[in-house]
Amino acid sequence: MIVKLKLKERWGWSLGLGLLLALCLILGPAISTAGADDIPPGLPHRFYGTVTTDGGPPSAGTTVQAYVNGTAAESTSTDSEGKYGYDPVLLVSGSPGQTVTFRVGGILATQSATFEAGGITQLNLTISGTPPTVQTNAATNITCTTATLNGNLTSRGTASSVQVSFEWGLTDAYGNTTTPQTKNSTGTFSANISGLTPGQTYHFRAKAVGVGTGYGSDLSFTTTPSCGLDIVTACPLPPGQKGQPYSPVTLQATGGTPSYTWSKASGSLPTGLSLSTGGVISGTPTVTGTFSFTIKVTDSATPTHATKEKACSITITISSGPPAPIRTAP
């Protein structure tokens, strides 16, 4: 009896295992196919490989930019051996079936691929042509609101002409670009920028676009903390009339260190007019003629005050007065 029970148990276990294997053989292909088709479409496609140029691998740090159907997507950079997509990893987002192309240093690579959600592709890229090289030089002519940016195009690469410019801004993300200049040979170039903030540090780098794009190193400069003192009131001053109150004029200055103190450095105001230390010319002129004088402004900087002078004049004419009465013969 005991032997019969054991035989039944063994026969039942074998039958169950056989049925399970048969079920796996029948459903296996369907399960495999369903798993491949059900990959979430939002997964990125990873690309990695090496980059080869006419002269071997590009310089370390060369940008590898991916494009999906012609639109710029993610990017990475090459290492010292010309490898890309390892660190950092190049994960490209897109939709299945879209075409993925690549530019290395701005140069279109020969190879392309088709986007696959969740795909992992080793794609070795090759490019023909050499991008230009450019150097960033120190800024000059720095004032409170302006500066001159300088660079040097050291090689045009394989391009016959190159567009050079500067990227600049408050950080090394820049955000501003000067107007491109065309250069047909190597050499220095510069660009003036304005509208800067006094006492502010700015970053900039040179840029050259030919067969690909080359960048210079990041440099910075700081504008002067205050602008030079200047008198901005237009001269000559508005005219007046003898015997009539002069419409007050308030002199204006910029730069330096406010507040300002005004005075007359030389010459004479029309009799009856006066200049206050606050820069207001007012009064009632009692003489006629053109009167020339020099106004002076002094700022509040310590220990040394800044001063600025400007030549001015005021013309006083005869008041027309009321019309003469009309007399008629008796």
Q: Report the pLDDT value the prediction gives residue 254, as an integer from 0 to 100.
A: 85
Helix (H, G, I), strand (E, B) or coil at 196: coil
Among 171, 190, 222, the domain-final residue is: 222
In a domain, 158, yes or no: yes
- The domain that holds 253 is classified in CATH as 2.60.40.10
Q: Which domain holds residue 179?
A: 133-222
β-strand 125-126 against 45-52: which pairing, if any? Answer: parallel
> Is residue 211 very low, low, confident or very high in pLDDT (cuts 50, 70, 90)?
confident
| Domain co-membership, 95 together with 137 | no
In a domain, 25, yes or no: no
| Domain co-membership, 294 together with 275 | yes
Q: What is the pLDDT of residues 217-249, one digit of tens each?
A: 999 999 988 788 889 999 999 999 999 999 999
| Domain co-membership, 257 together with 289 | yes
Among 201, 222, 243, the domain-final residue is: 222
Q: Report the pLDDT value the prediction gives residue 198, as an integer from 0 to 100.
A: 87
Would you say 161 and 183 are in contact if contact means Cβ atoms under 8 Å apart?
A: yes
Structure tokens belonging to residue 208: 């050259």
Q: What is the pLDDT of residues 58-84, one digit of tens each?
A: 777 888 999 999 999 999 999 988 899
Would you say 208 and 133 are in contact if contact means Cβ atoms under 8 Å apart?
A: yes
| Domain co-membership, 119 together with 149 | no
Measured CA to CA, the distance from residue 227 to residue 258 in angstroms comes to: 11
In a domain, 107, yes or no: yes
In a domain, 164, yes or no: yes
In a domain, 17, yes or no: no
What is the number of structural domains in the chain? 3
pTM for this prediction: 0.47
In a domain, 26, yes or no: no
Opening angle at CA 325, ends 319 and 327, nearest 5: 150
Q: Does position 194 have pLDDT exceeding 90, yes or no?
A: yes
Among 222, 254, 269, the domain-final residue is: 222
31-56 burial code (b ≥16 CB/10 A, e <16): eeeeeeeeeeeeebbbbbbbbbbeee
> Half-sphere exposure of residue 85, counting CA atoms within 13 Å on the CB side?
20
Instruction: Choose among 270, 274, 273: nearest CA to 317.
Output: 270
In a domain, 66, yes or no: yes
In a domain, 237, yes or no: yes
* 329 or 230, which is more confident: 230
| Domain co-membership, 249 together with 188 | no
| Domain co-membership, 234 together with 214 | no
Q: Does position 50 have pLDDT exceeding 50, yes or no?
A: yes
Measured CA distances, 47 to 35, 43, 69 (Å): 22, 13, 16
Structure tokens belonging to residue 181: 């200049």
What sign does the dihedral 288-294-300-303 (CA atoms) show? negative
Burial of residue 263 (CB within 10 Å: 0-12, 13-18, 19+) is: middle
| Domain co-membership, 140 together with 218 | yes
| Domain co-membership, 60 together with 82 | yes
Q: Report the pLDDT value the prediction gives residue 233, as an integer from 0 to 100.
A: 94
| Domain co-membership, 209 together with 275 | no
Q: Report the pLDDT value the prediction gives residue 251, as an integer from 0 to 100.
A: 96
